[in-house]
Every structure is written in C-alpha cells, then in structure tokens.
Amino acid sequence: MEMSGRSLLIQQFLPMLATYASNQSPSYLLRMPNALRTRLVARAAAKKRSLHAEILDILQSSLDANPASDFDLNTLAEAVAARVVVKLKEGKG
C-alpha cells in the first residue's frame, strides 16, 4: 500500500508527538528531500509564517482530521518494516 507524503510525514513525527505530550519542548533535526522543503517553504511564505509554524500546522490539521484513535499501530509497523526492506534492498543493489 503506497502512502501519501502527508501520511509519511505524520508517521515520521509520531514518536516526536508523543514527546510533546510531556511538558518539555524538545529540539529536533528534521531531514527531508529538497523538493519537499521547497514546497513547504513556498506554502509557509504564502501564509506569511515560518517553515516551523507551517509544519506544525500541517501536523495539527492532519491529526485533527484523523484522531489518534484512528491510527492502527500494526499498520504503522508494517509500513515502517516495508520501508526498511526497500532501503535494505537499495543498499544491496
């Protein structure tokens, strides 16, 4: 099952979102493809806000549209495992 860019972004941020549940504001390094960053920067500029604020807005909107109770951890685990397999195969190529 192929996932949209938004779904992948949400899944990559799930561990960080759990950290946000605490009263600390963690710092993090986010790696992303240049093309995605370019799109996010343009979207943020159009809304006159920072890249950080735009990423948080996208995440919040996505979570509001799909509450945490809708997330199936088994599906998430399978998606992560499938991506790991693809990356391992790419490394062997």
Q: Is the pTM of this model over 0.75?
A: no
Model confidence over 15-67: pLDDT tens digits? 666 665 555 566 778 888 999 999 999 999 999 999 999 999 998 888 777 66
pLDDT of residue 69: 57
The structure tokens listed for 40 are 């996010």
What pLDDT shows up at residue 25? 65
Residue with tokens 């950080």: 52
pLDDT for the residue numbered 41? 93
